[in-house]
């Protein structure tokens, strides 16, 4: 083999680790870029797509009624939101997101009994529903039930692997409650 060919072969061998590292970095970057789409396809928790509408919770599959309800919630028109949520629940009674937002809107209107019933239905459909766990904890704080809120926080801790916004928000609400009481 000529010296020229040996030099080229050695240069190619020295670049192989770099090419391998760059290829691995590209695969990792693609995986990270695709993560939101994988979460979106995973289902009805707060990592899914949709609009939070100011409620602090994102809706998974946004039907026309759900989109309208979230717009109404963003505008703090809870009565209007409930109209669309009732229509959604009539069409899809197993929509945990609709029940969760029904609980949220009812709680914001001061109808705590209806709120609790709606959260309970959301959690019966999806016991790991992060939004319903957070909001039911907030409802408990509104009702002066710190133990109930802490139970919801414990359930969120089991559902959120590292941390999630629902867990952080309920923890903040519990801290605020404890300082005030």
Residue 133's nearest CA partner among 83, 95, 110, 99 is: 99
Helix (H) or strand (E) holding 124: helix 112-125
pLDDT class of 2 with cuts at 50, 70, 90 = low
Instruction: Please determine, for residue 8, whether its predicted confidence score (pLDDT) is greater than 80.
Output: no
Question: How far is the C-alpha of 138 from the C-alpha of 177, rounded, in Å?
Answer: 10
Question: How far is the C-alpha of 132 from the C-alpha of 139, rounded, in Å?
Answer: 10
DSSP 92: -
N- to C-terminal Cα distance for the chain?
A: 85
pLDDT for residue 136: 98
Q: What is the pTM of this model?
A: 0.68
pLDDT for residue 101: 97
Question: How far is the C-alpha of 133 from the C-alpha of 57, rounded, in Å?
Answer: 11
Residue 105's nearest CA partner among 66, 141, 144, 156 is: 66
Q: For residue 108, what are the contacts with CB-CB under 8 A and spacing of at least 6?
A: 76, 78
- CB of 81 closer than 8 Å to CB of 105: yes
pLDDT tens digits, 73-88 = 999 999 999 999 999 9
Residue 132's nearest CA partner among 109, 168, 156 is: 156
Q: What average pLDDT does the segment 46-58 reach?
A: 40
């Amino acid at each position: 083999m000529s010296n020229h060919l040996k030099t080229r072969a050695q240069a190619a061998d020295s670049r192989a680790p770099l090419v391998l590292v760059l290829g691995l970095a590209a695969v990792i970057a693609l995986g990270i870029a695709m993560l939101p789409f994988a979460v979106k396809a995973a289902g009805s928790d707060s990592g899914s797509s949709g609009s939070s509408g100011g409620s602090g919770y994102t809706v998974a599959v946004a039907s026309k009624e759900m989109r309208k309800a979230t717009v109404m919630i963003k505008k703090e028109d809870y009565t209007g939101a409930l109209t669309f949520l009732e229509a959604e629940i009539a069409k899809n009674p197993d929509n945990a997101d609709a029940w969760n937002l029904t609980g949220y809107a009812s709680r914001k209107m001061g109808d705590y009994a209806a709120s609790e019933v709606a959260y309970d239905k959301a959690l019966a459909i999806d016991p790991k529903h992060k939004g319903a766990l957070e909001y039911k904890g907030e409802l408990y704080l509104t009702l002066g039930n710190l133990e109930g809120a802490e139970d919801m926080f414990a359930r969120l801790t089991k559902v959120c692997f590292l941390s999630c916004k629902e867990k952080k928000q309920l923890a903040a609400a519990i801290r605020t409650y404890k300082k005030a009481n």
